[in-house]
Structure 1
Amino acid sequence: MSKDLSKVRNIGISAHIDSGKTTLTERILFYTDRIHAIHEVRGKDGVGAKMDSMELEKERGITIQSAATYCNWKGTEINIIDTPGHVDFTVEVERALRVLDGAVLVLCSVGGVQSQSITVNRQMTRYNVPRIAFINKCDRTGANPMKVTEQLQEKLELNAHMLQMPIGLENDLEGVVDLVTMKAIYYDGDNGEVIREDDIPAAMQAEADEKREALLEEVSMFSEELMEAVLEGGDIDQQLIWDAIRKGTLSLDFTPVLMGSAYKNKGVQTLLDAVERYLPCPTDVTNLALDLKEDEKEFAVTNDPEDPLVALAFKLEDGRYGQLTYIRTYQGTLTKGDTVFNSRTGKKVKIGRLCRMHSDEMEEIDSCGSGDIVALFGIDCASGDTFCSEDISCSMTSMHIPEPVISLAIIPVDNKAQVNMSKALNRFTKEDPTFRSYVDKETNETIISGMGELHLEVYTERMKREYKAEVEVGAPQVAYREAISQRAEFNYTHKKQTGGSGQFGRVAGFMEPMEEGEYEFVDNIVGGVIPREFISSCDKGFKKAVAKGSLIGAPITGVRCTINDGAFHAVDSSDVAFQLASVGAFKEGYMKAKPQILEPIMKVAVEGPTEFQGAIMGSINQRRGMIIGSMEEGLYSVIEAEVPLSEMFGYSTVLRSLTQGKAEFTMEFANFKPVPKSVGEELIKAFQEEKKNS
């Protein structure tokens, strides 16, 4: 019997650090009877929240890996992925949103829209994910859901409107007023499990009427029936309002705002009602795949369980059960024992075990259908692979993977650590596309690259704990780039005579800077002065030259190489000759094009008490930072700046001592900019010194 897909929701819970995502997920699992006791993220009982299963997560009180679970709410099956808030683990959010149909954007009622809220919202928009906003922590001092809703409209440019009003705030938070049903909702019992509806408190009635009128005016834009009912006056059917809100949410033109306090067990059940009522089911979302048999022509997957299978592997995890591959099925049915086809490798894969994940626990199942998020056991594949039936060959559109911005050298202390380190690196690079590792040819050191200091710190810690690989960590290295600043011409002849046939190739043209993209090759050869078969050799040669600049040996970016003349020899010209001629031509033109060093600039947001605002700004200015803006929100201020990554190492320690541990900062990659002349000279000097020594 096929399942009713209108009763399935695939949702992600995303937010800025410390907004209460994991606490909210813990309450959702409790109210849906998936767990029978509530544990806190930093609880004194040492158990920790269900979704933070890794030892490091329990210790630090942060989410590092996204964790999947599922539950049932009033007959609707909800698959949930709890994602990290730190920008260093942004790929976890990226790949979760790629396979989810809807999301809950959690906001702190005091902090409001913070830097990572903006990043997460941008990721939701990239994948067209409809969202509900949940303003959490309404029990905290300084809570102001009204202000947070205004920030959603101004900072995130969302058409966000409150569906609820809080009854009391801070320590007096009692419940919420539902502006659709016009009832007061209270959460009674030891853990808020008893929901009690009552009349709206008399003191709030006028404000509730006013807010409901504004809400109806807004959502009636999505329903003609509702608009007519509003114009006629009198009682309005609740279902009409719910349908209009759903329509606006699915089209991404409206964002419902709910509120409560997950920690104080208030507002969670009404959020679950909203998930079921407003967020899309698998059939409400159009997912595209590329037909590999027909020139990658796009087609929409059907969600039909009878159609050929299409499933996407979006996350790999090497846990206590071996390699787990998380997949989302888009159409067809997958049964234990089936043989499926990996469209990237072209290999057949037999499905031995199929299971549903509940954080770190595994529940065996026999089959899964369209819209399910499940895990396969013991399958060799990569993140982003598409599995399909043998009679179709298709690939789901891939996800956005940001480039690493920071590197560290890691040195194993002995041979045993070397072996264990290799195992760990193999696993981590397979699991996390933003984590890279390679061996530096010159120094023979193992270099790991990632999204930030915390990202690499977590992986080195995991090497020690999970693999017993004791490693020493070298100084952080910044991913510099080189770029040209003006147009320059080249005309280079490569000639080599070694007895017998030699090597000959002449390449002429020019290079110029380009604003977007890393490298482009333009072929303007006419009259066959360079034969067709050697044009690709020229491109290969330029690519080799671009891989390593001559200022500090960093990759060259933003360069367009155009060839418009050349010469060849009937006997001595070859693929190798033209590759070498292009390398020589590039080197000849490069120094004429006034090359410069570019450094990664980070967008930094520092939040702390207003009394430390001057000290924070001073610390940013000392780091060659440029302050973009600052906002004061009561006793707290937020300072946004752009700072070179090379100046941000160790900033967390400095910030703690400056602000008595009361401030925190987040940073994410913004762009590359030229380094100041003095810094550039130092980098070149250090590079030449290193070259001489090696």
Structure 2
Amino acid sequence: MKVYDDKHIKNIVFVGAHNSGKTTLAETMLFEAGLINRRGTVEGKNTVSDYHEIEHQRGASVFATPLHTEWRNYKINIIDTPGLDDFIGEILSSIRVADTIVSVVNARHGVEIGTQIIWNHIDHYNKPTLFVVNQIDHKSANFEDSFKEIKELVGNNAVKIQYPLVIDGAQCILDVLKMKLYKFPPQGGKPEKLPIPDDQKALADQLHNELVEKAAENDEDLMELFFEKGTLSEDEMRQGIKAGMLNHELFPVFCVSALQDMGSGRLMGFIDNVAPAAADLKPEQSLEDKTVLRTKEAPTTLFVFKTVHMPNLGQLTFFKVKSGEVNANDKLVNSRTGETEILHQLFIMDGKKREPVSKLMVGDIGATLKLKYTETNDTLYMQGHQVTIRPIIYPESRTSKSVVALKQADDEKLSDALKKIHSQDPTVVITYSKELKQQILGCQGELHLATIGWILENGYGVKAKFEQPKIAYRETIKRSSTANYRHKKQSGGAGQFAQVHLKIEPWFEGMPEPEGFNIRGKEEVSLPWGGKLLFYNCIVGGVIDLRYLPSIRKGILEVMESGPLTGSYIRDVRVMVYDGRMHSVDSNDIAFKIAGAHAFKAAFLNAKPKLLEPICELTVKVPEEMVGSVMTDLQSRRSVILGIDNADRYQILKCTTPEVELYGYSTNLRSLTQGKATFNSVFSSFEAVPDNIQQNLVRA
């Protein structure tokens, strides 16, 4: 394969709502460029990008798939992404390495919620973006409504490059940049180039002039030329459009029928001639605040944006060359692990097809096999030139489940499989809760979870069960209580004897010291699970030797690790040990540990024990017209509304909600708002559980 420099490499990513036609458009572009002889279809399960079995079953993209094509002396790397935000990790990693975003809009449905959600991420990264309105030949297509909605999404900087029309029953596209009419045969393919019809000249001239003005706005020299001549040449317009895209202030809009191969060639020509190349982007700043120069002379730096574990092949690592050039058998250092990796092979990937190459230049996207120490988000650099590319920030989990293997013998297989799934998709988060004794899986939604289950069963041969996770409750007390316990054991030889008298009280920050005790010592223990234990030595007369107090405290802490109500951690208690007895021969550390534990448990149960539940601060962004139903649902979940803020056409609801009530909230909110609302939650505090709920939990 020809080696392309950074000026002739275009990295684009197709994003857009489910069923907008991204996969079909990618397939058509490969066909137009001659890389494939026959176009596959999603229905036929034979497209280049959707090659996974699960994608064939669902008839939709689940994974982001890198492809490439060569068109008029340019190399175009294409990443086809899923359309559902359950797979947002695949979308974000692709956006991160793309130079230009191609947002595909279905002309039948306009800008859907999936497009809106993805736009927020594009806007965050400030990436050059163009829009493609697809399916213009469908009887229900409405290009003008779609364009209007694009303008509502991105503002008045959306500008038509083309618009569709039908002349004598033939699908046509009028291009106001080239000022030509493209008339397509019924079966699509190569169009006939015609002059603009008389009845379209006024509109075409108007749109052309608007495009000229928008192009001139983004370059001072072009603005001066525009004032001098009153217009710009086509090359000058291209220069201005590119500048506007790089400034994230101009969003060209095209129209195509990907299925019928209408307009895709012109779109590819624009990507070649106008869309920013890798060399056009601003230099990147590393985590070390170094400038990563996008030149072939700079030290080699690779950024890993995707990992795939393939059966019978092993780990396939996708990367973008951020600086320098990479050759087969190069040795590079991982900035996270410090380990040296050898890139024995380099590939260009087209779906599952691997094409070996000997070299990749700065700006290019490629893959390699069987790296030992490298994962998604890692940086590989040339020895002696350490640098760390800023990582992709993935969203927090929206759905959590406990996960166990249906067969106990598969526990280890499940653990290994989940590690690989997380490696492939960092939005899948796996943690083990020592407190709950559960393995917790976090993901982006029910569809994401179903996909993980499918991969476990079909990819790794493990059947798993997903259930509602337990809640990490806490136990405490509401009043003071005293208790004593005498431990005596005699079984021949040395026995065990210890007697402990103690008082317990609820503790809070700033409370006065205990009254009525001769305090000889105090220990403040910050508990690993939050809260404190204050342990007071109030022994007088030496009835218990000082050396046994640590054992008493140890027994108390063991009880606090598994409270008597629900087995939850105990917090925020203070204990005064004020009396007891010991034996000169039979007393020892074990005896006092047992006595301390029993005395504390008895006092705790008599101190009006109270269950505390975790409370989250919840922020919900919801369209104005849907606020009522969302608030009603929140109140049914024992939420306390703290305030409401305005943000454009949205309202931001802020409230506190018990964590247990958030189970299933992601799915429910999506259903209530047709996917238009988003939320995030963070732990806030522990608060008392209502009495009726506490009774049910204790019984359970």
TM-score range, shorter chain: 0.7 to 0.9
Counterpart of 1:117?
115
Counterpart of 2:99?
101
Counterpart of 1:303?
294
Amino acid at match of 2:282: T
Q: Deviation per CA, 1:452-473: give whole Å up to 9, x if none.
A: 1111111011111111112233
- How many Å apart are 1:338 and its aligned residue? 1.6
Closer, same or farther in 2 for the Cα pair 1:266/1:411, shift >3 Å? same
- How many Å apart are 1:375 and its aligned residue? 0.8
C-alpha contact 1:408 1:477 (8 A) present in aligned 2: no
In the aligned structure 2, how far is the partner of 1:330 from the partner of 1:452? 33
- How many Å apart are 1:390 and its aligned residue? 0.6
Structure with bigger gyration radius: 2
Counterpart of 2:343?
351
Counterpart of 2:195?
199
Amino acid at match of 2:182: I
TM-score by length of 1: 0.72
Partner SS state of residue 155, structure 1: helix
- How many Å apart are 1:229 and its aligned residue? 5.2
Closer, same or farther in 2 for the Cα pair 1:371/1:653, shift >3 Å? closer
Matched positions, count = 572
In the aligned structure 2, how far is the partner of 1:367 from the partner of 1:622? 57
Q: 2:185 aligns with which of 174, 183, 188?
A: 188
Counterpart of 1:167?
165
Q: 2:244 aligns with which of 216, 241, 248?
A: 248
Amino acid at match of 2:418: L
Q: 1:91 aligns with which of 89, 92, 95?
A: 89
Q: How do residues 202-351 of structure 1 correspond to structure 2 at under 5 angstroms?
A: 202-224=198-220, 226-227=222-223, 230-231=226-227, 236-290=232-286, 297-320=288-311, 321-351=313-343
Measured on the aligned residues, the alpha-carbon RMSD in Å equals 4.4
- How many Å apart are 1:139 and its aligned residue? 2.7
Q: 1:362 aligns with which of 332, 354, 358?
A: 354
Partner SS state of residue 154, structure 2: coil
Counterpart of 2:154?
156
Partner SS state of residue 14, structure 1: strand
Counterpart of 1:516?
none
Q: 1:74 aligns with which of 54, 72, 75?
A: 72
C-alpha contact 2:113 2:675 (8 A) present in aligned 1: no
In the aligned structure 2, how far is the partner of 1:84 from the partner of 1:333? 30
Amino acid at match of 1:176: I
Closer, same or farther in 2 for the Cα pair 1:246/1:443, shift >3 Å? closer
Closer, same or farther in 2 for the Cα pair 1:393/1:325, shift >3 Å? same
In the aligned structure 1, how far is the partner of 2:417 from the partner of 2:329? 30
In the aligned structure 2, how far is the partner of 1:413 from the partner of 1:274? 53
Counterpart of 1:455?
448
Q: How do residues 371-386 of structure 1 correspond to structure 2 at under 5 angstroms?
A: 371-380=363-372, 381-386=374-379
Verify: 1:144 aligned to 2:162, yes or no. no
- How many Å apart are 1:417 and its aligned residue? 3.3
Counterpart of 1:413?
406
- How many Å apart are 1:152 and its aligned residue? 2.6
- How many Å apart are 1:67 and its aligned residue? 0.6
User: Which segments of structure 1 move beyond 6 Å, counting only runs of 4 or more?
Assistant: 476-482, 491-494, 547-555, 616-620, 638-644, 652-655, 677-683
C-alpha contact 2:336 2:379 (8 A) present in aligned 1: yes
- How many Å apart are 1:38 and its aligned residue? 1.6
Amino acid at match of 2:40: H
Q: Deviation per CA, 1:464-519: give whole Å up to 9, x if none.
A: 1111112233247799999xxxxx8446999xxxxxxx9965599xxxxxxxxxx9
Q: Deviation per CA, 1:604-629: give whole Å up to 9, x if none.
A: 789xxxxxx99x99799567699x99
C-alpha contact 1:493 1:507 (8 A) present in aligned 2: no
Partner SS state of residue 312, structure 1: strand
Partner SS state of residue 220, structure 1: helix
Counterpart of 2:174?
177
Partner SS state of residue 214, structure 1: helix
Partner SS state of residue 184, structure 2: strand
In the aligned structure 2, how far is the partner of 1:142 from the partner of 1:551? 62
Q: Deviation per CA, 1:30-65: give whole Å up to 9, x if none.
A: 111222212222x1x3x3422111111111122111
Structure 1: state its 5+ residue gaps: 291-295, 483-487, 495-501, 509-518, 520-546, 556-590, 607-612, 630-637, 656-662
After the TM superposition, which of the residue ranges 425-434 and 232-241 deviates more from structure 2? Answer: 232-241
Amino acid at match of 1:11: I
Q: 2:616 aligns with which of 573, 584, 598?
A: 598
Closer, same or farther in 2 for the Cα pair 1:310/1:476, shift >3 Å? same
In the aligned structure 2, how far is the partner of 1:413 from the partner of 1:207? 65
- How many Å apart are 1:213 and its aligned residue? 2.0
Structure 2: state its 5+ residue gaps: 476-507, 515-519, 531-560, 570-608, 656-660
C-alpha contact 2:4 2:74 (8 A) present in aligned 1: no
After the TM superposition, which of the residue ranges 274-283 and 70-79 deviates more from structure 2? Answer: 274-283
Verify: 1:135 aligned to 2:136, yes or no. no
Closer, same or farther in 2 for the Cα pair 1:104/1:689, shift >3 Å? farther
Determine what percentage of the aligned residue pairs are the same residue. 25
C-alpha contact 1:249 1:278 (8 A) present in aligned 2: no
Counterpart of 1:4?
5
